[in-house]
Structures are given as C-alpha cells and as structure tokens.
Amino acid sequence: MLALLAPLTLLLNGLAAGVLFGTQLGGFPYLASLPVDRYVHAHAFFGTRYDPAMPLCLVGTVGCDTALAFLTPEPAARAAFAVAAVLAVATAVISVTRNAPVNRWMRTLDPDRLPADFADPRRRWGAWNRRRSVLAVAALLANCAGLGVLL
C-alpha cells in the first residue's frame, strides 16, 4: 500500500504546488500588470482552467497523506505525512474560502461593463494566493521528508 500511496501523494501534491508556484512566478505578476478590464477577462480565463484539477489534487493529497500518517511504520515519516496533511488542508481551506469565491465572481463580470462599484481584488487575491502557495510547497517538502525517511 505504501508503494502506491507515497508516489501518488508526491504526484498530487507536486501538481498542486507546481501550479501555485507557477502562479507566483508568472501568472499573478502578469495579471497584476494588466489594466482592469483586461485583468477581469484574463482572470476569468485562467480561473476556469484549473477546476476541477486543483481541488482533486488537494483533496487527493490530504487523503493520501492522512492514510500515510496512519499506515507508515516509521514515526518520523508518520509525523512528516501528518504535517503535510495539515498543510494541504490549510491550502484547501484558503482556496475554498478566499480564492475560489473571487474566481467565481470574476467569471460573472463583463470586462466591457464593469459595475460602478467594482473593487479590484488583485491585492487581496494575490496575498491569499501567496499564502496558499507557500503552504502547498511546504506540504510537498514535508512529503519529500516523509518519503526520504522511508527510503
């Protein structure tokens, strides 16, 4: 079971962390540089590309890490997988409560007819995206440490 769960965990967590890391390196800086109307259009475009893959990767990471935390015989590896599960849960909570609502809202807007009271969410969305990116990468590091103990 460990021979299946450990690589699957690294795959799922690596995909999630890689996407989020990529948004930090290029996606968000690009979005932040755009005029508001082009930003709304681009954000709506990007926002539809990562669902449902990202949620599946995060939920899968949490499930696999939780299983590994209980099934792994080595105490240090169990601890690393448990920490990774908590970090992945925190990433998912931020995604669901902070970033996804903005993404859904942005898809409803017409870039050519923005509401008069439009509040540009870039700074707030970007700050939460940075937090979840750090958490996802930290989870990946914890998963690598746990696997390293097992090897």
Chain segment 111-142, per-residue pLDDT in tens: 999 999 999 999 999 999 999 999 999 999 99
Which has more confidence, 45 or 26? 26
Q: What is the pTM of this model?
A: 0.95
In 3D space, the residue among 54, 46, 42 whose CA is nearest the CA of residue 88 turns out to be 54
- Total structural domains in the chain? 1
Is 35 within 8 Å of 62 (Cβ atoms)?
A: no
Quick check: 49 pLDDT over 90?
Answer: no
Task: Write out the residue range of the structural domain in which residue 111 sits.
Answer: 2-150
Matching residue, tokens 């755009």: 34
Torsion of Cα atoms, 137 then 143 then 89 then 27, to 10°: 20
What's the confidence (pLDDT) of residue 38? Answer: 96
**CA–CA dist 118, 125 (Å, integer):** 15
